[in-house]
């Protein structure tokens, strides 16, 4: 018992020393690169609009005021397959981020039942398990004697101490990847909103075009009646009637073409929203489609870039790559693993749970360091450094 206490005390001292080493994280934290910026930008919109809201910071529901357009965008964001895929990827990243926190805890396994019996013969270099035959009151045979017999159950654990903050660096990497997935979702969302809004405004433009085309047909009808009256009065020739009829046919031919384009655009919009092709009802007033322009500005060029999901995604990828460099560097340093086992073990099944005779226990502590692994660790570290350049 005293030896066990000394052993546990020694392991505790080692863990304490390495715990203090744990404060020394290998690698470098990510630092955002400093960019030299001018004091003023040429054509800066802030000078023109003054104290206004940047367009990139306004939610789309506040930017668009048309009720039909809002319903279309809502439906597209809910039913679009690319958006669903982006949301599922976000859930996967969130699960990985939560799981990595559990890596600080030990790994515990339970062996419910374990049986192992080995037989050997006289030409084998060792003899039978004499205690096994003594307990059974039998004489060991020369051939196919029991060389090993074990039946047991146990609980064992293994715990790697995070000396060089490998788990912390992995957490930083997973967090950056999670946020990168969030930005990818934002990019898909922006693309969907843009496509729906562009299609809807194109539909409104086609409505205006077909209205003008129908008015042109009506105007050509009125002009044709006037030309015929002038022809009947003998003021003009039949050539004028033919020219006017030709112009009317040309104007009338635009109407079915525009009607076809409207149907195609409506079907495309319904497909974007995850519905079957159908018509789309539009409002009649287009004066308040957007928020008041006096309250919105494009913002400075730097602000416009910072609000772009792809730019933010690139920076997050750089942060993840930097964390991966720290992980690969820590893999080249020593690691400490402690473990233990507690259970029962016996040579005969009938003594499986004989207490205290079948009890077993053990504590292990391993301090290991890589020496030669075919240059694998160095190559992985150098490759991860390239990803941050």
Q: Does residue 56 belong to any structural domain of this protein? A: no
Q: Does residue 117 belong to any structural domain of this protein? A: yes
Distance CA 269, CA 69 (A): 10
Q: Does residue 141 belong to any structural domain of this protein? A: yes
Domain enclosing residue 356, as ranges:
2-35+67-287+308-386
Query: CATH number, domain at 355?
Result: 1.20.1600.10
Nearest to 246 by CA among 224, 218, 214: 224
pLDDT at 94: 92
pLDDT at 340: 93
Distance CA 331, CA 316 (A): 23
Neighbours of 103 (CB within 10 A): 14
pLDDT at 51: 47
pLDDT at 60: 81
pLDDT at 95: 93
With contact defined as beta carbons under 8 Å apart, do 297 and 48 qualify? yes
pLDDT at 135: 84
Q: Using a cut of 0.75, tell me whether the model's pTM lies above it.
A: no
Q: Does residue 53 belong to any structural domain of this protein? A: no
Number of separate domains in the chain: 1
Q: Does residue 157 belong to any structural domain of this protein? A: yes
Backbone angles phi, psi at 311, to 5 degrees: -70, -45
Q: Does residue 293 belong to any structural domain of this protein? A: no
Question: Tens digit of pLDDT per residue, the chain (389 long)?
Answer: 555 566 556 655 655 555 555 555 677 888 877 777 666 666 555 554 444 556 667 778 888 888 888 889 999 999 888 888 899 999 999 999 999 989 889 999 999 999 999 999 988 988 898 888 888 888 999 899 999 999 999 999 999 888 888 888 899 999 999 999 999 999 999 999 999 999 999 998 999 899 999 998 888 888 888 888 887 787 777 888 888 888 888 888 889 999 999 999 999 998 888 888 888 887 666 666 766 655 566 666 667 777 788 888 988 999 999 999 999 998 898 988 999 999 999 988 888 888 888 899 998 988 888 998 888 888 888 888 887 87
């Amino acid at each position: 018992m005293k030896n066990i206490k000394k052993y546990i005390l020694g392991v505790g001292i080692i863990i304490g020393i390495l715990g203090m080493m744990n404060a020394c994280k290998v690698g470098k934290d990510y630092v955002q690169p400093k960019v030299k910026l001018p004091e003023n930008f040429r054509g800066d919109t802030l000078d023109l609009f003054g104290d206004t809201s940047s367009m990139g910071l306004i939610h789309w529901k506040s930017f668009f005021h048309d009720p039909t357009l809002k319903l279309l965008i809502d439906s597209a964001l809910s039913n679009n397959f690319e958006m669903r895929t982006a949301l599922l990827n976000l859930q996967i990243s969130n699960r990985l981020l939560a799981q990595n926190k559990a890596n600080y805890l030990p790994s515990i396994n339970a062996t419910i039942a374990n049986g192992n019996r080995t037989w050997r013969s006289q030409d084998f270099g060792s003899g039978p398990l004499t205690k096994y035959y003594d307990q059974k009151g039998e004489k060991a045979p020369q051939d196919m004697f029991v060389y090993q017999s074990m039946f047991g159950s146990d609980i064992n654990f293994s715990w790697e101490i995070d000396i060089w903050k490998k788990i912390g660096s992995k957490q930083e990497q997973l967090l950056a990847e999670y946020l990168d997935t969030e930005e990818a979702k934002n990019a898909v969302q922006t693309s969907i909103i843009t496509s729906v809004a562009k299609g809807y405004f194109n539909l409104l433009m086609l409505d205006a075009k077909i209205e003008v085309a129908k008015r042109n047909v009506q105007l050509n009808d009125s002009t044709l009646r006037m030309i015929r009256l002038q022809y009947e009065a003998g003021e003009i020739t039949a050539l004028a009637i033919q020219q006017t009829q030709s112009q009317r046919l040309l104007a009338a031919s635009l109407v079915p073409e525009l009607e076809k384009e409207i149907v195609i655009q409506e079907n495309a919009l319904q497909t974007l929203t995850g519905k079957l092709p159908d018509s789309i009802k539009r409002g009649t007033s287009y004066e308040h489609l957007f928020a008041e322009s006096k309250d919105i500005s494009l913002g400075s060029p730097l602000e416009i870039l910072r609000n772009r999901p792809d730019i933010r995604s690139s920076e997050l990828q750089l942060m993840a790559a930097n964390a991966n460099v720290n992980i690969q560097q820590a893999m080249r340093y020593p690691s400490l693993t402690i473990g233990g086992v507690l259970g029962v073990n016996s040579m005969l099944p009938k003594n499986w749970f004989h207490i205290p005779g079948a009890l077993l226990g053990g504590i292990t502590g391993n301090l290991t360091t890589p020496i030669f692994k075919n240059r694998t660790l160095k190559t992985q570290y150098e490759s991860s450094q390239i990803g941050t350049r």
